[in-house]
Amino acid sequence: MSDFTKIAFFMFFGIAFVFGSMLVVRLLSTSKYDPIKSLPYECGMDTIGPTWIQFQNNYFMYALLFLVFDVETVFLFPWAIRFSQLGLMAFIEMVLFVAMLLLALWYAWKEGVLEWS
């Protein structure tokens, strides 16, 4: 149980430190309201235009497609390193895997995801 006691000890003091320091700051600091201080903070500049504008959601589609190929790389890399030991079966499996991902890209292409409108 001594290991758990140590962990409990660390957890207690870790949490106590965070809330303790917040409490100390709250006690020591002075707080004055100032309209300039409460302006929205945007890299130090004044904001230009309304801040609640909408973004193009095309970015979302690109991110999704990127993820497909990102994950593909994660699997391709260890496979490529051990390629000579793995043999023909692994090669066929990898071809199937890439083919399925290409099918997904083909579908996205057909559905017009790649066109910026």
Partner 1 sequence: MALDISALVPELLVIGLGLLLLIIHILQRQPVPANPIGWVAFLAFTAIALFVVWRMPVAEVTWGGTWLVDPLANFFKILFLLAAALVSLASITSLAGQSRFASEYFVLLSMATAAMMCVISAGDLLTLYVGLEFLAITLVVLTALDRGTAASEAGLKYLILNAISSAALLYGFSLLYGMSGSLVLGEIATIIAGGATQAWAGLALPVAIVLVLSGFAFKTSLVPFHMWSIDVYHGAPTPITAFFAIGSKAAGFAVLIRVFMKLFIPWAAAWVPALIVLSILTFTLGNLVAIPQTDIKRFLAYASIGSAGYIIMGMIAATRGGIEAMLFYAMIYVFATFGAFAVATAVQAQTGSTAISALAGLSKRSPFLALTMLLCTLSLAGVPGLAGFIGKFYIFWAVIDQGYAWLALLGIIVSILSVYYFLLLAKVMYVNDPPAESAIIRVMPSMRLALAVSVFATVFFGVYPGPLINLVTQVAARFIS
> What is the rounded CA–CA span in Å between residue 72 and residue 101?
8
Of residues 10, 22, 106, 114, which one binds partner 1 by CB under 8 A? 106
Ordered alpha helix ranges (H), 1-117: 2-28, 58-81, 83-110
89 lies in the site for partner 1, by CB under 8 A:
yes
Token pair 């023909």: residue? 88
Residue number with CB closer to partner 1 (81 or 103): 103
Token pair 């979302």: residue? 60
Number of residues engaging partner 1 in binding (CB under 8 A): 6
Site residues for partner 1, 27-86, by CB under 8 A, read none
> What is the rounded CA–CA span in Å between residue 15 and residue 101?
46
Which range touches partner 1 (CB under 8 A), out of 47-55, 64-72, 76-84, 98-106? Answer: 98-106
Site residues for partner 1, 4-23, by CB under 8 A, read none
Of residues 100, 101, 113, 114, which one binds partner 1 by CB under 8 A? 100
| φ, ψ at 46 (rounded to 5°) | -70, 145
Q: Do the beta carbons of residue 79 and residue 90 sit within 8 Å?
A: yes
Residues interacting with partner 1, by CB under 8 A?
89, 100, 103, 106-107, 110
